[in-house]
Structure 1
Amino acid sequence: MNRFAYRTTGLALKALAGLSKAKICLHGTENIPDASVIFVINHFTRIETLLMPYHIFKITKAPVWSLADYGLFKGALGTFLDMVGAVSTKNPDRDLLIVKSLLTGEASWIIFPEGRMVKNKKIIEKGRFMISYAGGKHPPHTGAATLALRTEFYRQRLAKMNEDAPEEAKYIMDLFQLDSIEPVLEKNTYIVPVNLTYYPIRAKENILSNLAVKLVEDIPERAIEEIMTEGSMLLSGVDVDIRFGDPIAIKEYVKCKAIKRDISAKQRIKFDDKLPSLLRMRKEALKIMQRYMSSIYSLTTVNHDHLFASMLRMIPRKKIDQTDLKRRVFLSSIFLKDKTDYHLHESLKGKQTHLLTDDRFNKYADFIEVALEKGILKKKGEMLIKDRSKFSSPYDFHRARIDNPIEVIANAVEPLKPLQEKIRRLARQPKFWIKRKVVGHLIKNALNEYEQDYNRFYLEGESKKKEVGMPC
């Protein structure tokens, strides 16, 4: 790891911040343990590969290395990736290097378990995690879990061999080039799930994409899409919520008898040897993977676009009344405010009556503008006409963020099952029921506010009876 490269990255980010309108909010940094950590992060844009090492380094004051696709290690970019501690996915010493650095605590690691950018945010299929990409689908990778397990395996084996088989302990020390045993045994291995949520997502031509087209001959369509999407985020303004989840202690996953036997085995175990407990290790890795994937997406910062996109997709009717759509999303926002296990964008934390009245924050207007522009909706008087095919027809993976952003936005909150169930129920209710629920909620709120104000400002002998002026 080259600290000069980190400083250079920091200066580049500061310079970019001067041009960018992006607002970065960090949450849950107290969840980062002072230990050996693998950060597992969702991957939607290339921004994460630059942003996350820099911010984690600022928080922990410790080096942060990452795995990067072998295809990126070419020319100047490859040199820069080497300088900041990135390791090619095809490096033959990859696993040994990662385990060694985690044992010593010399560096933390960033791994994207989805394996690539998930541009359509489609990661759930039939209730299971399944990653969509241009070539098809695949389950999330267990690499982060496997590396964390191997690290904790060798940490505990070193402690055991130090007591029972000093020669084997020396072999482990030499294998990982360890200078001292005490710092290794004092540490623990953790995986910290991290979620990045961008709001709003609006892909359009910008100064960066226009320059790229003019300056680069035969620029690939895929590159144009990425510059349009990510350039718009940086230049037009986007909120980036980076949320660190509860750390996963890996020592809890090496307690079974089969793994303990291998930890205690006195015979020589080489790094690439096939362990008797390999099958059990794989099962534990799958458990850990399911846990960190669930955690990553439970950390999603829910925003207005998520609610509008999900409601629009789930309403079974083709014709949609605009006022009715706002009411349904309003009720969805009320549901969220009562749930402490969801993370809300700042704009969802206050009162949401603006959705029913003047839309003074343009949450509805901005969303509808995109839906109309992309042909997902058409206006006919006060009614909206939904093109159902936009939510079911296949589309080019690399153009998903440009051609069908509403579907991408809706996909982002698919893993939040209770929210999905609530929106589905609201989407299927008749209009009169929705209207009655909204009116009931507003009256209840008005009565509560009146009660609080009356009690707060009541003056004995001067105030009128409570019933006078009470909302009804």
Structure 2
Amino acid sequence: MKKNDLLIDTNGYVLSLLEKILDANIEIKGIENIPKNNPRIFIANHFTRTEAMLIPYTLYNLTGKKVGVIADDSLFKTYFGNFLTKLGAMKKSNPNRNNHIIGDLITSCKDWMIFPEGMMVKSKDITKMDKNFCVKVDGTCQRVYTGAAFFALRSQILRQNYFNNKIKDFKKFQHNYFVNECTDINKNETMIVPINISYSKLRTGRNFLINMAEKLIDELGDTFKEELEIESNIILRSKITIQILEPISTKDILEKPYKNELNQKLITESIRYDLMHNAMNKIYESLTINFDHIFILTLFLYPKKHINIKHFKRLIYLAIKQIKKQDFYYDDKIDKDLIYLISYEKYDQFEDVLQLAIKDEIIIVENENYYVNKKRLLDNYTHHTIRLKNILKVILNEIQIQEGVKTIINKLINKSNDDIDLELLTMLKKAEKDEYDEAYLKIRHRNDVKPKHIGEAKYFTNRDNDTCIIAIHGFSSAPKEVEQLAHFLYDNNLNVYAPRLAGHGTVPEDLRDTTWQDWYKSVCRAITITSLSFKKIYIVGFSTGGLLALLSTRKCFKEFEGVICINAALHLNDIRVKAFLPALTFWNDIVKRFNENDYAKEFVHNQAENPSINYDKFYVEAMEQLNLLMNKTRKILSDIKNPILIIQGKDDPVVNPSSAYEIHEKIQSENKKLCMIEAKNHVIVKGKNTDELYSLILEFINSKKTL
């Protein structure tokens, strides 16, 4: 967020803190819903004290107009008082507060921000009363305040009276609402703009702001301590999503059923309540759903005390995928790298909230299950302590009012484990097919596109046994590359699945636009698909596929039997990657700095061994990703302990044979074997001279099967 003149002349020693607050991780959605030329009164839910500064400042940066806010008198006595005043805030005790607000809305000199809940709702405990939401504070239900509706409607009535020449005493009107003679009355209607403020990754814990406060202030009160810890962690660690909703027309309200109840002096309580409750209902229902919400709601709704860890993760995965298909607001990162959640390795979003649940003794890990302490989860504590003592209950309260999300999760948790596994398997296979179909559809008319069957994932999985081989193709290639090997294994009574790596099997530009992580996620999906159907899984990777196979050993699942890497591309003979790539990248950076993009070298031509399958050019970006994958794989070799067969062609023109020796030397597997075979070409997985290679692979698999 950019700095602006609101920060100028603020007390020096608090300036850095203000900048930290105002540069918080903020995402603004629905900017198009802000009326451009209308007087505006923004209304929002209220969770933190910082919102009184942060939201008006954010809106000011968007609109260029100051946004007034009513703030507690005590804030003006602190170091932030000068900033609040410059922002346009007004003391709660100001005797002319209401008339100032109405006057600003009449003239559109300043927008206003109101929090109808009237207080910070620290527990986020919202419930329905008479079909409308209300705030629960320490067990008492409190309706939202209607002041914002009064200000908006009153300003619009006065505006209409002014332009209809119904203001009898104009001097009194000016005096009452602080309207100067030279100030024009805005002809456009007052608009009410609802805003939902959502937070992802609400966490507690010490940080440098708390440490600084303890040094500056002798005694911190308990309430101040609580607010400082929560809000400083939000500033430093959370993402704040400001969802701006469709504006509400005051003119429409005045022309509808309430017309006879309104005059320039009277706005009935029923009108104000209807307007505010309808607006607040929209705000509450427009929560930006994040991963934490789905984690804790699934845990809460699950009917048993114990839940299998693998099953729990699959429920979360399916819930998130279904939520994304429906009309909900959700965090853009709710499903970032979500395949990791169900593919047997640590998934950061899950691990982060899991550790919080374990710390708060809501979850106890028992072998392959979680024991859920729901009594602990549901402990509300008090208004001023719940955020520190049970932040997951706060997150649960927030998502509980989303009936559509609850319906999705309830349907899932009432299905059997087998049904969930089948649903997940069907979804993953469809996602794989759709991904390729969509990619192919975009380039199907290009002259250089491969026939579609080249890039399609290959399934040979009709054998009546519990073993499946995942066969991974190489860089710039496609599943067709390993099809001959797949047929051999299938003919030897083994199930085989050859997935397509993202960006492959279409045109070179698709590979240019992917990362090595995208290729790895294709393998993750393949592993999950096979583990849902088979009890024993081997991963065979050729060339770059060999690197991905080695990387997949990070996964911990009982079905994983072993790895076979063939000509794994740890070190290349290709001068384009070893020396030319760094020079080419450097050259491109130079010419782009001088805006001479025409001189940039985007790709190098490839003399493919199998041109019907491989791309005919390598883009620089794709080569850089291959280089990153090679470096990543080197770093994890010493962690590998799985049974492994390493096969390398002695005279491979692409992969340096030192790759195989390094892999064999550095891995920690007790069951490891290195086989060098006579071969002068790189793509040894297909063609005529495959007998020795295939025999070695089959021998390794059969030896494991007999153990």
TM-score, reference length from structure 1 = 0.85
> Counterpart in 2 of 1:146?
150
Rg larger in 1 or in 2? 2
Q: Separation in 2 of the partners of 1:462 and 1:28?
A: 42
What does 1:15-54 correspond to in 2, within 5 Å?
Answer: 17=19, 22-33=24-35, 34-54=37-57
Match of 1:428 among 411, 414, 435: 414
> Counterpart in 2 of 1:118?
121
- Relative to 1, partners in 2 of residues 1:64 and 1:462: Cα closer, same or farther, differing over 3 Å? closer
Verify the 8 A CA contact 1:42 1:114 in the aligned structure 2.
Answer: yes
SS of 1:203's equivalent in the other structure is coil
Q: Separation in 1 of the partners of 2:24 and 2:175?
A: 47
What does 1:420-459 correspond to in 2, within 5 Å?
Answer: 420-452=406-438
Say if 2:87 is the partner of 1:84.
yes
> Counterpart in 1 of 2:396?
410
Q: Separation in 2 of the partners of 1:452 and 1:46?
A: 47
Shift of 1:72: 3.8
Q: Which amino acid aligns with 2:339?
A: T
Q: Separation in 2 of the partners of 1:405 and 1:144?
A: 30
- Relative to 1, partners in 2 of residues 1:319 and 1:346: Cα closer, same or farther, differing over 3 Å? same
> Counterpart in 1 of 2:207?
206
Q: Which amino acid aligns with 1:221?
A: D
- Offset from partner CA, 1:72-128 (integer Å, 9 cap, x none): 454655565445332233332221111111101111111111111111111224664
Q: Separation in 2 of the partners of 1:95 and 1:28?
A: 29
Verify the 8 A CA contact 1:10 1:54 in the aligned structure 2.
Answer: no
What does 1:31-430 correspond to in 2, within 5 Å?
Answer: 31-33=33-35, 34-74=37-77, 81-125=84-128, 128-134=132-138, 136-160=140-164, 162=165, 165=166, 167-168=168-169, 171-179=172-180, 183-184=184-185, 186-235=187-236, 237-256=237-256, 259=259, 263=263, 275=266, 278=267, 281-339=268-326, 341-348=327-334, 352-359=338-345, 361-430=347-416
Shift of 1:446: 2.6
Verify the 8 A CA contact 2:380 2:386 in the aligned structure 1.
Answer: no
Q: Separation in 2 of the partners of 1:68 and 1:344?
A: 30
Q: Separation in 1 of the partners of 2:140 and 2:335?
A: 38
SS of 2:423's equivalent in the other structure is helix
SS of 1:348's equivalent in the other structure is coil
Shift of 1:378: 0.7
- Relative to 1, partners in 2 of residues 1:332 and 1:13: Cα closer, same or farther, differing over 3 Å? farther
Verify the 8 A CA contact 1:376 1:390 in the aligned structure 2.
Answer: yes
> Counterpart in 1 of 2:500?
none
Q: Which amino acid aligns with 2:386?
A: A
Q: Separation in 2 of the partners of 1:89 and 1:19?
A: 23
Verify the 8 A CA contact 1:100 1:176 in the aligned structure 2.
Answer: yes
Verify the 8 A CA contact 1:36 1:102 in the aligned structure 2.
Answer: yes
SS of 1:198's equivalent in the other structure is strand
Q: Separation in 2 of the partners of 1:23 and 1:356?
A: 28
Q: Separation in 2 of the partners of 1:20 and 1:255?
A: 40
Q: Which amino acid aligns with 2:372?
A: K
- Relative to 1, partners in 2 of residues 1:15 and 1:124: Cα closer, same or farther, differing over 3 Å? same
> Counterpart in 1 of 2:549?
none
Shift of 1:350: 5.0
Q: Separation in 2 of the partners of 1:358 and 1:404?
A: 29
Q: Which amino acid aligns with 1:413?
A: I
Shift of 1:429: 2.7
Q: Which amino acid aligns with 2:94?
A: N
> Counterpart in 2 of 1:266?
none
Q: Which amino acid aligns with 1:390?
A: R
Q: Which amino acid aligns with 1:213?
A: E
Shift of 1:386: 0.7
Verify the 8 A CA contact 2:68 2:88 in the aligned structure 1.
Answer: yes
Q: Separation in 2 of the partners of 1:61 and 1:468?
A: 53
Verify the 8 A CA contact 1:159 1:185 in the aligned structure 2.
Answer: no
Q: Separation in 2 of the partners of 1:346 and 1:471?
A: 36
SS of 1:205's equivalent in the other structure is coil
Verify the 8 A CA contact 1:191 1:247 in the aligned structure 2.
Answer: yes
- Offset from partner CA, 1:325-374 (integer Å, 9 cap, x none): 111111111111212x3222121255632221145541111111100001
Shift of 1:184: 2.0
Q: Separation in 2 of the partners of 1:90 and 1:445?
A: 59
- Relative to 1, partners in 2 of residues 1:186 and 1:6: Cα closer, same or farther, differing over 3 Å? farther
Q: Between Structure 1 and Structure 2, how many residues are aligned?
A: 452
Q: Separation in 2 of the partners of 1:153 and 1:453?
A: 56
Q: Which has the higher helix share?
A: 1
Q: Separation in 2 of the partners of 1:424 and 1:124?
A: 20
- Relative to 1, partners in 2 of residues 1:319 and 1:108: Cα closer, same or farther, differing over 3 Å? same
- Relative to 1, partners in 2 of residues 1:194 and 1:14: Cα closer, same or farther, differing over 3 Å? farther
SS of 1:396's equivalent in the other structure is coil
Q: Separation in 1 of the partners of 2:115 and 2:408?
A: 30
Q: Percent identity?
A: 27
Verify the 8 A CA contact 1:6 1:84 in the aligned structure 2.
Answer: no
Shift of 1:23: 1.9
Q: Which amino acid aligns with 1:353?
A: I
- Relative to 1, partners in 2 of residues 1:261 and 1:436: Cα closer, same or farther, differing over 3 Å? closer
Verify the 8 A CA contact 1:146 1:282 in the aligned structure 2.
Answer: no
Q: Separation in 2 of the partners of 1:289 and 1:348?
A: 30
Q: Separation in 2 of the partners of 1:468 and 1:324?
A: 27
Verify the 8 A CA contact 1:450 1:470 in the aligned structure 2.
Answer: no
- Relative to 1, partners in 2 of residues 1:118 and 1:258: Cα closer, same or farther, differing over 3 Å? closer
| CA-atom RMSD in angstroms | 3.2
More displaced 10-residue stretch of structure 1: 307-316 or 454-463 = 454-463
SS of 2:168's equivalent in the other structure is helix
Shift of 1:27: 1.6
- Offset from partner CA, 1:439-467 (integer Å, 9 cap, x none): 12112223333545666579999665999
Verify the 8 A CA contact 2:193 2:246 in the aligned structure 1.
Answer: yes
Shift of 1:209: 2.0
Shift of 1:200: 0.9
- Relative to 1, partners in 2 of residues 1:323 and 1:175: Cα closer, same or farther, differing over 3 Å? same
Q: Separation in 2 of the partners of 1:168 and 1:38?
A: 26
Verify the 8 A CA contact 1:203 1:230 in the aligned structure 2.
Answer: no
SS of 1:398's equivalent in the other structure is coil
- Relative to 1, partners in 2 of residues 1:354 and 1:471: Cα closer, same or farther, differing over 3 Å? farther
Q: Separation in 2 of the partners of 1:79 and 1:13?
A: 11
Q: Separation in 2 of the partners of 1:81 and 1:54?
A: 10
Verify the 8 A CA contact 1:209 1:231 in the aligned structure 2.
Answer: yes
Verify the 8 A CA contact 1:134 1:398 in the aligned structure 2.
Answer: no
